[in-house]
Amino acid sequence: MSPIVEARELRILFPTQDGRATVKAVDGVNLQVMAGETFGVIGESGSGKTTLGRALVSLIKPSAGQVLHAGVDLARVSSAELRLRRREHQIVFQDPNAALNPRLSILDSVVEPLQIAGSGSAESRQAAALAALSRVGLAREYASRYPHQLSGGQKQRVNIARVLTLRPKLIVCDEVVAALDVSIRGDILNLFADLQRELGLTYVFITHDLSVVSHISDRIAVMYLGRLLELGPTDELSDRPLHPYTQALLSAEPVPLPAALRTARRIVLEGEIPSPVDPPSGCRFRTRCPHARPRCSDESPAWRELRPAHWVACHFATPEGPPAVTEALQAQARTSLEMT
């Protein structure tokens, strides 16, 4: 089975504002997204996850490497063919407000993509738009309203309806619930899951929120400073991470449980993500890694499959997990076990 979208040695570079340096937003990413799966991408701000997502739907051209859609490199096709093919690969953004034109009615917003695609008659476009609105759970009466009359969750439903009209195969979801209140996030995430089941959609789910990504994804890629550090099936990666960064990320997530039930010892990372203008040599994570050794600055770690379908870029990770923990960490783990 060929992947629905694939990145090969993908590099995306931007000049800085003063033009004197280069931001390496994506710096050598390889990944394959298979039809029907939800592929999660997790990363902190500055990791390059949003740039990666935009490149996957050809909103940004690769500086080097390729993005293949069902085997076809969209950078090499004519603009007419690109327009036709990109309908199949859509994106939903974080801010449901900014994504809607305040002067268009909801119906006009949902019809717009079909108009641009030039498909069907005006009547059929309107019918498709109304069907999409009803599919995302918005009653007919919303069609004539304007964005300011809708809540954030309803606006995000409209944005989902917009991309559905084009019958995409792949939807990149970039922080689609981050701007929504906690109490309605579940509703929107359930909608994404329902649509996937019914329409056979493939998702690339980009987020900084570990609890969201691990709930919805089949596989998760962990991104840091433009590179993937780890990639694996969700349960594997969440329960038995291989990379020290993934391990720290998992342990940093605040858990809403009473103190007696919070067992995991937190690994507090030093410092913050360095600038993508001048990333560290060798392993990108080494400046914050508690296990860094000289080899980590000399040599970029190879991308190794240490467990079935579970890949990691770390010199010292083994199939058992991240590099051996220090004695101090072990002692901490023991005390927290004794306490529970």
Partner 1 sequence: MPVTTEPLRSADRVDALLELREVGVSFRTSAGDLAVTRGVSFRIARGERIGLVGESGCGKTVTGLAIMRLLAADSARISGQVLFEGRDLVGLSAAQMRALRGREIAMIFQEPMSALDPVFTIGHQIGQAYRSHFAVSRAEARERAVQALAQVGIALPSRRHDDYPHQLSGGMRQRVMIAMALICEPKLLIADEPTTALDVTVQAQITDLLRELSERSGTALLFITHDLGVVAETCTRMVTMYAGEVVEDAPVDAVLDRPRHPYTSGLLRSLPRLTPRRAPLGFIPGRVPGAAEMPPGCRFLPRCGHGMAGCDQPQALRVLARTPSDEPAGERRVRCWRADALQLPGSVNP
* Nearer to partner 1 among residue 52 and residue 129 (C-beta): 52
User: Is residue 19 a contact point for partner 1 (CB under 8 A)?
Assistant: no
Closest to 98 in 3D by CA, of 178, 33, 34, 20: 178
Q: List the one residue from 259, 294, 327, 338 that touches partner 1 (CB under 8 A).
A: 259
Determine if 210 is a binding residue for partner 1 (CB under 8 A): yes
254 vs 184: CA distance, rounded Å: 20
Q: Does residue 145 touch partner 1 according to CB under 8 A?
A: no
CB of 247 to partner 1, least distance (A): 11
Nearest CA-CA partner of 39 in 199, 177, 237, 186: 237
Residue 80 or 260 having the CB closest to partner 1: 260
- The yes or no reply on residue 153 touching partner 1 (CB under 8 A) is yes
Secondary structure (DSSP) of 78-124? -HHHHHHHHTTEEEE-S-TTTTS-TTS-HHHHHHHHHHHHT-S-HHH
Q: Is 265 in the site for partner 1 (CB under 8 A)?
A: no
Closest to 239 measured CA to CA, from 321, 315, 333: 321
Q: Is residue 286 within the footprint of partner 1 (CB under 8 A)?
A: no
- Least separation in angstroms between CB 58 and partner 1: 28
Beta strands in 111-269 (DSSP E): 170-174, 202-207, 219-224, 227-233
298 near partner 1 (CB under 8 A): no
Contacts with partner 1, 227-256, as mask; x by CB under 8 A: -------xx------------xx--xxxxx
Residue 190 lies near partner 1 (rule: CB under 8 A): yes
Region of 306 please: left (phi>0), alpha (psi -120 to 50) or beta: alpha
Considering beta carbons, is residue 7 or 216 the nearer one to partner 1? 216
181 lies in the binding site for partner 1 (CB under 8 A): yes
Burial of 270 (0-12, 13-18, 19+ CB in 10 A): exposed
Output the CA torsion sign for 264, 306, 45, 153: negative
Closest distance to partner 1 from the beta carbon of 161 (Å): 18
Task: Choose between 259 and 302: whose C-beta lies nearer to partner 1.
Answer: 259
Cα angle 192, 197, 198; round to 5 = 100
By CB under 8 A, name the binding residues for partner 1. Answer: 44-45, 151, 153, 181-187, 189-190, 193, 208, 210-212, 214-216, 234-235, 248-249, 252-262, 266, 268-269, 271-273
